[in-house]
Amino acid sequence: MKNTKKATTLLLSSFLLILGACQQQKKQESKEDEPTHEEPKERVKPPEQIISIEESKKLFDNYTKNRVESIQAYELEVNRDEDFHVARFSSFDYKTFKQYMAYIEQEAKAAKVDITTLRFYFANYPNEKEFPDGRKVVHPRQNSIFVVPTIDVDGENYGFFIGANGKAELIKNAIRSDGIGSKVDDDEKSYASFAPTAAPTPPFIGGSLAMDRSSSGPPPSPDY
């Protein structure tokens, strides 16, 4: 009789343990299946500089009227190239541009300066097969753009690069009027910590922050 009670008690205890374990597992699985509730992100407001599609069309047409025909005529006269197509846009891969933004922010932070603007310079590719660094010129003579970040110095924005000393230095202080190279001018105003602390060095040794090699060409037919 005692053995029967002990066996019954042991069996009941085992059953309760198994039941409890199953319920605990179900609760755990239920929690895992529940969707995670994230705080809703505040919607980003459009910048004031956003323009309408209609306005962008007018700007595009203005360029066609006031620039494209002149460029086409110039290329026909100077290079005798009837097949030359005037560039209408320059584009950067989105991931590349995000990487560029992260890179210049990283370099500016290390140099302890704040980027104030992104300056998009108009450019023109050479009538050559290769750039000085050996890369192929995909669109000789085509117009393009390159990007330069700026910093504020005495209330004015200036393009900058990272010097060999790791500090931010102004491009205008490192470029001679006749081309790339150290600009030595005793009368040139020094801008606080942005002036070189050692002998002038050619730009871009520390690190250029200018980005080029965009893709340019005539407009895709679905656009304008």
Segments in 34-183 forming alpha helices (H): 53-63, 69-78, 94-110
pLDDT for 126 = 81
> With 80 as the cut, is the pLDDT of residue 210 above it?
yes
Beta bridge partners of 176: 179
Distances (CA, A) of 37 to 40, 41, 46, 70: 9, 12, 27, 58
pLDDT for 203 = 41
Residue predicted with more confidence, 208 or 95 = 95
Averaged over 185-189, what is the pLDDT? 39
Confidence of residue 135 (pLDDT cuts 50, 70, 90): confident
Q: What average pLDDT does the chain have? A: 76
What are the structural domain ranges in the chain? Answer: 50-86, 87-217
Please answer whether residues 196 and 173 qualify as being in contact, where contact means their C-beta atoms are separated by less than 8 angstroms.
yes
Strand arrangement, sheet containing 156-162 = 115-124, 143-153, 156-162, 168-170
pLDDT for 62 = 94
Confidence of residue 23 (pLDDT cuts 50, 70, 90): low
Beta-carbon count within 10 A of 86 CB? 19
pLDDT for 31 = 56
